[in-house]
Chain A
Amino acid sequence: QQPVQSPQAVILREGEDAVINCSSSKALYSVHWYRQKHGEAPVFLMILLKGGEQKGHDKISASFNEKKQQSSLYLTASQLSYSGTYFCGTQSGNTPLVFGKGTRLSVIA
C-alpha cells in the first residue's frame, strides 16, 4: 500500500527549515527516506525500524511515531544542496519497498 507524503512541494530560502511527512493507513515494519536529484538515481538517507525511533546526520533527521504509521523528515538550516525530490518508502510484512509520490524541495539563495 502506497504511503502518503505531504507536502507535494516546498520552496525554501537557504537557512530555513522544512518538514516532510509520510503516513500509512496501517502499521509499518520500516520507513526509508531517499533523495533524488534531477536526472539521477534515488540515494538512501536513512531507515527507521522502531516506533519512537529518531535518526539523523548533519542537519537532516527523521522520526518514526510510536504506532509506526507515520514518519517525518526534518531538514534544518537548509542548503542549496538539499534541493531534490524526497521519497519515503515503506514496507510491511513481506511486501516490497513501496514509495510515496515524493516531495519536491527547492532551496533558493
Chain B
Amino acid sequence: DTAVSQTPKYLVTQMGNDKSIKCEQNLGHDTMYWYKQDSKKFLKIMFSYNNKELIINETVPNRFSPKSPDKAHLNLHINSLELGDSAVYFCASSRQGAGNTEAFFGQGTRLTVV
C-alpha cells in the first residue's frame, strides 16, 4: 500500500487554466504539507495543514489554495496557471507537526504549464 499518493503524476496544461492535484495518505497522520520543487531542486514549503490550523507560506500566490475534505486528503488547487508554476509538487504527511517525526512524501506531480 502506498503511504502517500498523489494524482496525477504528470500534468501538462495551458496558461490560464485551473487545475487540481490530489493527495491522500493512509498513515493516519494529523498533518499534511505541500512543497514546490523548482528546476534548481529547492524544496519550498507552500502549506502546512492539520485539522486545526492552516499555515501558509506568505510568498505563495493566492492563486494556490489547499482543500482538505478530511484528515486523509489535502488537495492543491491552482487558478490561472502561469509559466512560472511549472515545477514538481510534493505532498507530504507526518504525525502532528513535523518537528519530531518523519515526514513521508508522495511521488510528486510534475506540472508543466505551456
Contact = CB atoms under 8 A, between A and B. Distances in A.
Determine the interface band of chain B, counting residues with CB < 8 A from chain A.
20 to 34
Contacts of B55: 94-96
B107 A96 contact: no
Nearest to A29: B99
A87 B100 contact: no
A interface, over-half SS = strand
A58 to B, nearest CB: 17
A36 to B, nearest CB: 8
Nearest to B48: A96
Determine the interface band of chain A, counting residues with CB < 8 A from chain B.
20 to 34
Interface stretch (A14-22, A41-49, A61-69, A75-83): A41-49
A30 interface: yes
Given A41-B107, A47-B101, A91-B98, A102 B33 contact: no
Interface of B: 33, 35, 40-45, 48, 55, 90, 94, 97-108
